[in-house]
Amino acid sequence: MQQERKGRVLLSTTGFEPDRWIDLLSAERDVVTEPAPGGDPSIDYAVVWHHPRGLLAGLPNLKAIFSIGAGVDHIMSDPDLPDVPVVRVVADNLSQFMTEYVAWRVLDHHRQGVAYRSQQARSVWDERPQAPAGEVAVGIMGFGALGQATAAALLALGYRVRGWSRTGREMDGVETFAGEARLGDFLSGTDILVVLLPHTPATEGIVDYDLLRRLRRDNAIGGAVLINAGRGALQVEDDILRALDDGTLKEASLDVFREEPLPAQSRFWSHPRAFVTPHAAAASDAVFLVPQMLAQMSAYDRGEPLWNLVDRDAGY
Ligand code: NDP
Ligand code: OXD
């Protein structure tokens, strides 16, 4: 029996070496990294990370766009985005990576990593008061796939966990809050704020001085802490520095920044109470993600629905 021709996959990435992705996608599909000029009819699917703006607009047979990451702001910001389904990453290994990052940062702030590293540098032996996890409230802003996976691990460690989302997602053992109207209540009972929101027009710059000021500072860990592993565009960076300087924030861990790589002159690099990682909280791994993408392409070719679809109106 003659097999139906599979269309080609366009892989368009910026900022990392795509060889592994090409190898793995090539197991089932022909892969190109640039479309032929003049609207390439051979391309069925695009797999992208920060593709050049307008690149996808001229592809007449494009069926769907696959994001290499959980976040799709790099796709939705294309003003010439074709009207085809956009699929994002939801994967156990990504959730596991994010859970590890958040648990690591929460534990470090809670168990006074900043203070003990400073003491070690000065050969100071001074045991500090210790707060039980059950007295520390971790508030997760953005309570979706990654937020909920992270919440499960924090609950297991004994923390009090709160979750804030747009539509109100429930989870056993977690106090949940929905929408703008409940943001104040969510913040005022949160000691450690974990930001796992997508970047959309509604969340742009949401982490500003006014928001940080509403966190609970009079608490078991001696101040409010910010952890942002969502997107840099969620934060107003001068406001975070101001909050760190004037004590509104005790400490911060930031994995994402407005400009990446973080410029050498940024004060975050040298701030004694800021912990910086290079957008490394949860890396997309081709070995785990490509099989899921290929399975989706085959299913869609058979007329079955795609899953993990982006809601274009909500922008995530
Ligand atoms: P999801 O889409 O599963 O969850 C997003 C959550 O944010 C949902 O709970 C959603 O609410 C909530 N939300 C969105 N808009 C608003 C709003 N305006 N007000 C209140 N809540 C809102 O995404 P994931 O959990 O998979 O990923 C979250 C983000 O993490 C990604 O978009 C990406 O930016 C970032 N990320 C960062 C990585 C890193 O290495 N630093 C790696 C992977 C992802 P609702 O539940 O009501 O829809
Ligand atoms: C993602 C990311 O969105 O790596 O997956 O930031």
| Helix (H) or strand (E) segment spanning residue 48 | strand 43-49
Catalytic residue (choose from 169, 213, 271, 279): 279
Give yes or no for residue 145 CB within 6 A of ligand 1: yes
- The answer, as to whether pTM is greater than 0.85, is yes
231 noted as active-site residue: yes
Distance 6 CA to ligand 1 centre (A): 33
Distance 269 CA to ligand 2 centre (A): 22
Q: Where are the domains of the chain?
A: 8-89+284-301, 92-276
Give yes or no for residue 191 CB within 6 A of ligand 1: no
> Which tokens go with 1?
């029996």
Identify the CATH class of 8-89+284-301: alpha beta
Cα–Cα distance between 36 and 125 in angstroms, integer? 66
Equal fold, 8-89+284-301 vs 92-276: yes
DSSP state of 65: E
Ordered DSSP codes for 162-187: EEEESS----TTEEEEEHHHHHHHHH
- Residue with CA nearest ligand 2 atom 1: 69
Cα–Cα distance between 39 and 34 in angstroms, integer? 11
Distance 225 CA to ligand 1 centre (A): 20
| pLDDT per residue of the chain (316 residues) written in tens, 0 to 9 | 445 558 899 999 999 999 999 999 999 999 999 999 989 999 999 999 999 999 999 899 999 999 999 999 999 999 999 999 999 999 999 999 999 999 999 999 999 999 999 999 999 999 999 999 999 999 999 999 999 999 999 999 999 999 999 999 999 999 999 999 999 999 999 999 999 999 999 999 999 999 999 999 999 999 999 999 999 999 999 999 999 999 999 999 999 999 999 999 999 999 999 999 999 999 999 999 999 999 999 999 999 999 999 999 999 9
Neighbouring residues of 174: CB distance < 8 A, sequence distance ≥ 6: 143, 151, 155, 161, 162, 163
What CATH fold (topology level) applies to the domain 92-276? Rossmann fold (3.40.50)
Work out which ligand 2 atom sits closest to the CA atom of 279.
6
Integer angstrom CA distances of residue 307 from 49, 143, 299, 310: 19, 19, 10, 9
